Structures are given as C-alpha cells and as structure tokens.
Structure 1
Amino acid sequence: MQENTVNITGFHAHIYFDNPTREAATRVREGLSAFDVRLGRWHEKPIGPHPKSMYQVAFSPEQFSKVVPWLMLNREGLDILVHPETGDDVKDHTDHSLWLGEKLELKIEFLRQVGTA
C-alpha cells in the first residue's frame, strides 16, 4: 500500500556536532550553501528534542533528491537526522525520519508537550 506524500511541505536536516567535530560541521555547512536551502543558526548546546549541538537545514521536497545524496557522501562522519514536515512533529522526528550515521536518542517527550500546548 502506497503512503500519501502530499502532506510533506518540506524537509529538515539536523547536523549534529560537538567541539571536536565543529570544523567538519562548518565544512558541511559551507557545502550545503551551494543548494537551495535555508541554513539555520548554530545551536551550541542541546535545544528542544535534540540531544547535542546542531544546526538545521530546511529544504523543499524538490531539493530532497539533491541535498540528501550529497549529505550521504559528504557528511564527514557527522550524525544527521533528516525528517519531513507534515504537521505531526512527533511522527516526523520518529516514524518518518531517516538517519545518516548514528541514530541519536531524541527527547520526544518535549515534542509531545509542545504539540499539546
């Protein structure tokens, strides 16, 4: 049975880093600037459901086939969460997500609380 993808309005990639991998994260960010993406600000400590420092990259469904393969080949060992935007933050960050590198444990309870606020 085929899932409906009409509800995907965009995608986010969360690029995780720490002090030893910050330079790699900078190089990945510089490479991403060649694409039609919105680069979010650097978060130097965990924020929201994210367990590590990270920055977000937002892109359209049309850019998925360009951005994600590039990240697969150029992530420099960084852990990256890629998820759709469907309006269901919990499912987008869990059931609908894909990981490049290690799958980190997100603080999903944070998303549940925000979703009911």
Structure 2
Amino acid sequence: MTVTPPPSADPARIAEYHAHVYYRPETKAEAAALREGLGARFAVRLGRWHDALVGPHTASMYQVSFAPEEFARVTPWLMLNHGGLDVLIHPATGDDLADHTTHAAWLGQRLPLRLEALV
C-alpha cells in the first residue's frame, strides 16, 4: 500500500518571522538586555514595548521582526540567550491564526493567546 503524504505548504510564502519576547515588570531589565543583544548582533526590526496587552498576547511584550534569511542565526541565539523569558517565534504567511498556533515555536513556557483577536 502506498501512502500519499499530505500536501505541503511552500516555505517561500514566509514573508518574515516574528519573535514576541514576553516580560513582567520584574523581568523587564532582562528583556531590555535581550533586546539590546538582538539589535546589536542581527539585522532585525525591534518593535515597540507593549506594557499593556495588545492583539492576541496575554502578557507584556515586544516584537522582533526578521527576514527568513536571518532565521538560522537569530533563532539559535534566542534559544541560548532567552534566559527566563518566554518567546513565541512564528512565520508571517498571511494566516495569522495558523502562524501564531500550528506554525509557531515557543522558547520557555507556552503562554495562552487570545485567538479571537486573530480571526
């Protein structure tokens, strides 16, 4: 019996990646140091600090955007340097719900998301 694999999605449709770095008031200095390290080492766009909840996020955070070509450099560095911070990394394919859920990877703890904000 031959099993046909499911259709695959083309990674070429990934426009960029987003890393959401979550923090609490007591970890904001650690988040700032991580942000400074990212900005100094990589070709990334550092988003604004969001102390108030925004979009699907249930904790304070900032977003780091980077090109697909930077993924293999940025992600391993984040894996080794995120410390006690939780980080959501996801592609931007145009399907916000899938990008934040089934296409996502977490460093640290997986935090709940307000998925209704994505539909």
**Partner in structure 2 of residue 15 of structure 1:** 21
Structure with more of its chain in strand, by fraction: 2
- 1:3 is displaced (CA, Å) by 4.0
Question: 5+ residue gaps in structure 2?
Answer: none
Q: How do residues 22-101 of structure 1 correspond to structure 2 at under 5 angstroms? A: 22-33=28-39, 34-101=41-108
- 1:15 is displaced (CA, Å) by 0.2
Percent identity at matched positions? 53
Q: TM-score, normalised by structure 1?
A: 0.93
Q: TM-score, normalised by structure 2?
A: 0.91
**1:109 is paired with a residue of what secondary structure?**
helix
Question: 5+ residue gaps in structure 1?
Answer: 113-117
Q: Distance in 2 between matches of 1:6 and 1:28?
A: 29
Q: Distance in 2 between matches of 1:72 and 1:97?
A: 14
Structure 1 residue runs of 4+, over 4 Å off? none
- 1:4 is displaced (CA, Å) by 1.9
Larger CA Rg, structure 1 vs 2 = 2
RMSD over aligned Cα atoms: 0.9
1:104 to 87, 95, 111: 111
Q: Distance in 2 between matches of 1:4 and 1:41?
A: 30
What is the number of residues matched between the two proteins?
112
**Partner in structure 2 of residue 115 of structure 1:** none
